[in-house]
Amino acid sequence: MIRVEQLHKTFQLDKGGVRAVQGVGFTVNEGEFFTLLGPSGSGKSTILRCLAGLEHPDQGEIIIGSQHVFSSRTKHTVPPEERPIGMVFQSYAIWPHMNVFENVAFPLKRGTKHGQKRLSEGQIAEAVAEALKKVNLAGMEYRPATQLSGGQQQRVALARALAHRPAVLLLDEPLSNLDAKLREEMREELRELTKSLNITSVYVTHDQVEALALSDRIAVLMEGALVAEGLPFELYLHPRDKRVADFLGAANVLEGKILKVEPNGEGVMQTGVGTLHFSSDSPAAAWSAQGKVAALVRPEAIICAAEKPGSAENIFLGTIQRVTFQGSVFNILLRINDATLRVFCDVYNSTLLPSAGQKVYVCIPREHVNVVGAS
């Protein structure tokens, strides 16, 4: 288990201080795969380095298991080599002059095992063999590092992090240097491995697909602050923040004004496409004091058809401006009244063959309209 409380970190530069982390707090449960997701400069890697002991926070508390590894209150810091962690860096940090065995064994030979006595040569060989087996590199102990592919280097870095059996695995964008197909394969392998070992993992990435595919829970960071936290499908399907919705995939943002809302959260709002019905799990009081609001609608949630659907609400006639074929979907940009919408039309489950200039009907199901504050 990991607990982070009120973490702050400021970097001092020539032009002043940069507040990289601003009061971030979260808990990672034992065996959980927890992802810190955010754009460049959001503070996610700084938080990971604080967990590892590679950065010294200005303020806050970090607890790993039952051990306080950092506390600004008690002025206590545990050095990196004594923390129960393994870490995989973005660059892998594979030494080219060493073979696979030497790379994996390096931290076991150079450091203590979290305060325990140094391992014997036999124990090191056993630990390396076990780690390489876990990442499907058994039998490659004496392969020179320079002969490894990108995917194999990633596995070596992972084996090195796991060799001393850490309680926590920290991963700093470890798949970003791989090509798209290999990245997808390694994603699946990493998920299966961490779950089979029941190891608590904290993963840093700016890749939304990676975060959604790998994570048990996601924390979204913006400008050093934690702006959303939850299950992947909840954050994607029911975003509560425009920034989060836009960052976690494509989202149509329709600003407007509430016309009516019932106590159960069902209501009507005026937007650029016209009058839009919505269903919200937020109480009516949440919107009664709001002036302007915004409706967030995912492109894949919108139904596009050549014939007018039978539904009586949220039906609009639009004109296709541009079509891009992306394999499984048509990426359609269309104009409806005073608004532009993006629609992902499933190639296999639609009779529509879209083209620029074509008039089409659009249905926006009320249950897929997420209403948030406009600010």
Considering 247-251, 352-356, 359-363, 370-374, the range whose residues carry the highest mean pLDDT is 359-363
Q: What is the mean pLDDT of residues 269-279?
A: 92
Asked whether residue 331 falls in the same domain as residue 190, the answer is no
Is there a domain that residue 360 lies in? yes
264 and 119 assigned to the same domain: no
Q: Which residue has the higher pLDDT, 310 or 199?
A: 199
Better pLDDT: 18 or 321: 321
For residues 371 and 293, the answer to whether their CB atoms sit within 8 Å is yes
Q: What is the mean pLDDT of residues 205-230?
A: 95
> Mean pLDDT throughout 194-199?
93
CATH code assigned at 138: 3.40.50.300
Whether residues 61 and 169 share a domain: the answer is: yes
- The whole-number pLDDT of residue 282 equals 58
pLDDT of the residue at 114: 45
Last residue of a domain, one of 237, 263, 285: 237
Short-list 245, 239, 219, 243, CA closest to 230? 219
Least trusted range by pLDDT, from 12-21, 136-145, 222-231, 343-352: 12-21
Higher-pLDDT residue of 124, 92: 124
256 with 220, same domain?
no
Residue 290 lies in a domain: yes
Other CB atoms closer than 10 Å to residue 314's CB: what's the count? Answer: 22
Task: Say whether both 301 and 202 belong to one domain.
Answer: no
Answer yes or no: do 231 and 328 share one domain: no
User: What local confidence, expressed as pLDDT, does residue 55 receive?
Assistant: 95
Residue 211 sits in the same domain as residue 85: yes
- pLDDT for 241 equals 83
- Which of 237, 261, 288 terminates a domain? The answer is 237
For residue 115, being part of any structural domain is answered with yes
Q: Are residues 230 and 85 in the same domain?
A: yes
Of the pLDDT bands very low, low, confident and very high (cuts 50, 70, 90), residue 224 is: very high
Q: Tell me what pLDDT residue 239 has.
A: 86
The reply to whether 211 and 301 lie within a common domain is no
**Main-chain phi, psi angles of 163, to 5 degrees:** -60, -35
Cα angle value 118/122/128 (rounded, 5°): 85
337 part of a folded domain: yes
Q: What is the pLDDT of residue 34?
A: 98
Cβ atoms of residues 86 and 66 within 8 Å: no
- pLDDT tens-digit map of 21-39: 999 999 999 999 999 999 9
313 belongs to a structural domain: yes
114 and 195 share one domain: yes
pLDDT digits (tens, 9 = 90+) for 63-84: 999 999 999 999 999 999 899 9
Please indicate, yes or no, whether residues 207 and 257 belong to a single structural domain of this protein. Answer: no
Distance between CA atoms of 64 and 73, rounded to whole angstroms? 17
Residue 243 lies in a domain: no
Rounded CA separation 346/325 (Å):
10
pLDDT at residue 113, as a whole number: 47
For residue range 108-167, list pLDDT tens digits in order: 886 554 445 678 888 899 999 999 999 999 989 999 988 888 889 989 999 999 998 899
With respect to residue 244, please indicate whether it lies within any of the assigned structural domains: no
Q: Residue 194 pLDDT > 80, yes or no?
A: yes
Q: Could you tell me which residue, 159 or 286, shows the higher pLDDT?
A: 159
pTM as predicted: 0.89
Which residue range is the domain that position 359 belongs to?
250-373
Burial label, 81 (beta-carbon count in 10 A; 0-12, 13-18, 19+): middle
Q: Which helix (H) or strand (E) holds 196?
A: helix 180-197
Mean pLDDT for 1-9 is 96
Task: Calculate mean pLDDT across residues 205-227.
Answer: 95
Mean pLDDT for the chain overall? 89
CA angle centred on 139, ends 214 and 101, rounded to 5°: 80
Which whole-number Å values give the CA distances from 165 to 48, 59, 123, 193, 373, in the listed order?
A: 19, 29, 13, 13, 46
Q: What is the pLDDT of residue 145?
A: 85
User: Domain count of the chain?
Assistant: 2
Query: Average of pLDDT values for 251-263?
Result: 88
Residue 242 lies in a domain: no
Which residues, in sequence order, are CB contacts of 285 under 8 Å at separation 6+? Answer: none
Please state, in angstroms and rounded to a whole number, the distance separating the CA atoms of residues 248 and 209: 8
Please say if the pLDDT value at position 291 is more than 80: no
Cβ contact 337:272 at 8 Å: yes
Q: Inter-axis angle of helices 180-197 and 150-162, to 10 degrees?
A: 20
Identify whether residues 97 and 210 lie together within a single domain.
yes
Residue where the block lists tokens 């924390």:
219
Instruction: Output the domain CATH number for residue 328.
Output: 2.40.50.140
| Domain end marker among 237, 267, 285 | 237
Choose between 61 and 267: higher pLDDT. 61
